[in-house]
Amino acid sequence: MTFAGEPLELTKTEFELLILFMRHPRQVHTHDSLSRWLWDDNSDVDHHRLEAHVSRLRRKVAQVGGPAIISSIRGVGYRLMTADQLAETVT
């Protein structure tokens, strides 16, 4: 996979997260819904595990010069920022 023409090497979990975010931009995904998407049954999933995967995905996108496309919604989950939303944060 590439991002802005740069190779972006993702784990299967990071790739699955990115797919979900891209399919539903702007939608806030709760920790529970993301856990169910990634691991089918989230009953035993530690939210810190999910946070670690999101953090690594953010870091990898940043390493190839990408913007902070995944925003945290405190106490709820995460969402993918659209180009319009990213532009608003710059101005």
Using one digit for the tens of pLDDT, what is the confidence trace for 3-22? 778 888 999 999 999 999 98
Nearest alpha-carbon partner for 11 in 43, 52, 46:
52
pLDDT digits (tens, 9 = 90+) for 9-62: 999 999 999 999 989 988 999 988 898 888 876 556 678 889 999 999 999 988
Question: Which residues contact residue 7 at a Cβ distance below 8 angstroms, ignoring those fewer than 6 apart?
Answer: 1, 64
Determine the 3-state secondary structure of 69 from DSSP: coil
Assess whether pLDDT exceeds 60 at residue 66.
Answer: yes
CB 3 within 8 A of CB 61: yes
Question: In terms of pTM, does the model score above 0.95?
Answer: no
